[in-house]
Amino acid sequence: MNNFNIINKYIFRELLSPFAISLFFLTFIFLMTRITQITNMVVNYNADISSVVLMLVYTLPRFLEFTVPMSVTISIFLTFMRMSQGNEIVALKGAGVSIYKLLPPVMTFCFIGVLLTLCVSVFGVSWGTLSIKKKSVEIVRSSIDAALQERQFNSELEDIMIYVSHVDMKTKRLKDVFIEDRRTKGIVSISTAPDGELIRSEVDQIYTIKLYNGMINQVDLEDKFVNNIHFESYDINIDLDVMNKSSAEIAKELDERDIVDLIRFIRSGIINELDLRAALMELHEKFSIPFACMALGLLAFPLGIQSTSIRRSSGFSLGIFFLVFYYFLLAAGWSVGETGNFPPFLQT
């Protein structure tokens, strides 16, 4: 019994090092995908370093949801592949140790990965996603430049949605501008123009979007009529100070709700069946994703033992393949869920 305890402890310790290295490396790779966005925030929108660091921290839970199962898979594969290539597996078999006796440390390691991913999925992802949204709104409301991202519908400003196909950050010239303004109660003003210009007041946080040779469609929601106005020059003023003081609570999407809020939302009596199914699938997904640690980890165990002739780098490739395949099945479940032919717990 003591011999088995020693072997189990040895295998468990051997799993820790490749797991830590894989987790750091993969998370770093995922974070590097945000370099363009971060550079854009610093250079064009004058975001401070603290805001950039916070955005990275808020992004980590979403990445860890992927990288923890991947790292568990890779570490188990590499550990047993190294033991197999070093004839340690042969030595254990020669000492009368069954391969199945090596499963306890692997299952314990996978279970710890499940718990870690479960904490990230249930609590971390919703917190990070909502925090990113709040921070983005804060950056936008401190400088409207951040709301003028090219070819995106930017709705961080309260009651104003802006779309611009091209922005010259040096001259502040705008191309193909679309602005939906709901600040006047009961009236929706939709302004479009091929050209525009952003002008900032030197004293206050007041910005003016000057549009040229465009058109305004004013929709009166109460009396139900539309006014069409053509103009050569039209100014839309945005006072960020007033907007920040009167800003309401940010609406939460499904992936921005924590587990308690999501369950409360489901039990609130949702009338729309599609919204209810989406909420149920979001709830079940929080628990199904962590299962990847157990499923992929146990799959990597026999592959590592039998891969004496496979190069070490293939562990990374196999880990990627099986994890992508797992998430492919998860995505397929979401697609099937839209048809409503299967219960949510089967789809996720």
Give the residue from 143, 21, 140, 129 showing the smallest Cα distance to 74: 21
pLDDT surpassing 70 at residue 242:
no
| Range 268-288 average pLDDT | 77
Residue 52: CB atoms within 10 A of its CB come to 18
pLDDT tens sequence across 162-171 = 888 888 877 8
Q: Percent of the chain at pLDDT above 70?
A: 77
Return the pLDDT at 182.
85
Query: Which range is least confidently modeled, 37-41, 78-82, 245-249, 255-259?
Result: 245-249
In this predicted structure, the answer to whether residue 311 has a pLDDT above a threshold of 60 is: no
pLDDT of residue 103: 87
Q: How far is CA 191 from CA 239, 240, 339, in A?
A: 18, 20, 37
Give per-residue pLDDT as tens, 90-117.
Answer: 787 777 777 778 888 999 999 999 999 9
| pLDDT band at residue 138 under the 50/70/90 scheme | confident
Of the ranges 72-86, 108-122, 267-281, which one carries the lowest mean pLDDT score?
Answer: 267-281
The CA-CA-CA angle for residues 198, 199, 200, to 5°, reads 125
Between CA 348 and CA 339 the distance in angstroms is 14
> Which pLDDT score is estimated for 115?
94
Under the banding of pLDDT at 50, 70 and 90, the label for residue 15 is very high
pLDDT band at 135 (very low <50, low <70, confident <90, very high): confident
What is the side-by-side strand order in the sheet with 225-239? 160-168, 173-181, 187-200, 206-220, 225-239
pLDDT score for 118: 92
- Between 133-147, 151-165, 253-267, the lowest mean confidence (pLDDT) is in 133-147
pLDDT at 198: 85
Average pLDDT, the chain: 79
pLDDT tens-digit series, residues 248-265: 556 677 777 888 888 888
Q: How far apart are CA 268 and CA 263, in angstroms?
A: 9
Q: Which of 135-149, 197-211, 276-290 has the lowest mean pLDDT?
A: 135-149
pLDDT computed for residue 330 by the predictor: 72
Query: How far is it, in rounded angstroms, from Cα 223 to Cα 187?
Result: 10
pTM of structure = 0.70
